[in-house]
Structure 1
């Protein structure tokens, strides 16, 4: 990579930080959580959304790995979601010590309302973009996320 490449990457870094802050700490997340209509905190709701987007029951260790969190933290969030009737545990028929976590119908509906609110908001934010620009954003963002995730995995292996 050349110095010009480094400068291009460096120029993007503040924008990534700006975007991350706007999404995670801004009113958008609160607005989407309000639309979901459930009374759990943000970390617990993130677990619910992760389960919903995965589309299959997961062990707590798998949730923790996907979210890059420690298992005790995920366990506490799952317990909160259980108390609110948003997830349920099902036993592993091959290992009775293990349970899988999956959204209940109410949990799926809440996660879907949350996702629909975000999708609607982001669609509105880029509605004035050309179709090609929207397609490029999706393609490049997916590629970027995949490459960063793969590269981060190499750090964990060392």
Structure 2
């Protein structure tokens, strides 16, 4: 099997092993997406902010530098027009501002204002505080292993999702 042939388990991985973990991944995804964790974190970010707006602010905070709309969209895994609408709303609330791109004066970069950064920090603190509570009783090595493996898993999933699907780009 090659990395280009999705849908087949790697050698040594039993489909039963993967099937056993799938319901947990589904439940975990649902808990994050539908649970009160994200709602509470959004509420902590600031009054009347919604999840997409907070997503833009957190993307900018994590980047540590101003970004183009397309870069924000890539980081959020959404389309550019969605981010454009969010940025316009955040601009009206003075949570972000546009600045000239020093490499291309025709383009704009988006940067958070201090108020926007504060909202993003409150959101992140709420999520991280909750996760820290969940992991508080785990041995240090288990926490380190989880963080290392989860980062690797997320990177590998995103890399796989970025591959063209079979039949695209002249492959077949």
| TM-score where L is the length of structure 2 | 0.85
Stretches of structure 1 lacking an aligned partner (at least 5 in a row): none
Give 2:138's aligned residue: 129
Distance in 1 between the 2:130 and 2:89 partners? 28
Q: Distance in 1 between matches of 2:158 and 2:144?
A: 21
1:18 to 5, 19, 27: 27
Cross-structure match for 2:56: 47
* TM-aligned CA deviation for residue 109 of structure 1: 0.8
Match of 1:110 in 2: 119
Q: Alignment partner of 2:164: what SS?
A: helix
Query: What's 2:47 paired with?
Result: 38
Match of residue 140 from structure 1: 149
TM-score (norm 1): 0.91
Q: 1:38 to 1:98 in 2, by over 3 A?
A: farther
List gaps (5 residues or longer) in structure 2. 1-9
Counterpart residue number, 2:68:
59
Partner of 2:3: none
SS of the equivalent of 1:122 reads helix
Aligned mates of 2:31, 2:164 — CA distance in 1: 27
1:112 CA drift (Å):
0.6
CA RMSD of superposed structures (Å): 1.7
Runs of 4+ that moved beyond 4 A: none
Structure 2 CA distance for aligned equivalents of residues 29 and 115 of structure 1: 10
Query: For the residues of structure 1 that align with 2:91 and 2:20, how far apart are their CA atoms?
Result: 43
Mean Cα displacement is larger for which, 7-16 or 65-74? 7-16
- The answer as to 2:77 corresponding to 1:68 is yes
Q: Counterpart of 1:85?
A: 94
> Counterparts of 1:94 and 1:146 in 2: how far apart (Å)?
29
| Structure exhibiting the larger radius of gyration computed from Cα positions | 2
- Of stretches 145-154 and 131-140 in structure 1, the one that deviates more from structure 2 is 145-154
CA contact (8 A) 2:42 2:50 kept: no
SS in 2 for 1:129: coil
Q: How many residues align?
A: 158
Conserved in 2, the CA contact under 8 Å of 1:38 and 1:110?
no
Which stretch of structure 1 is more off in the superposition, 33-42 or 105-114?
33-42
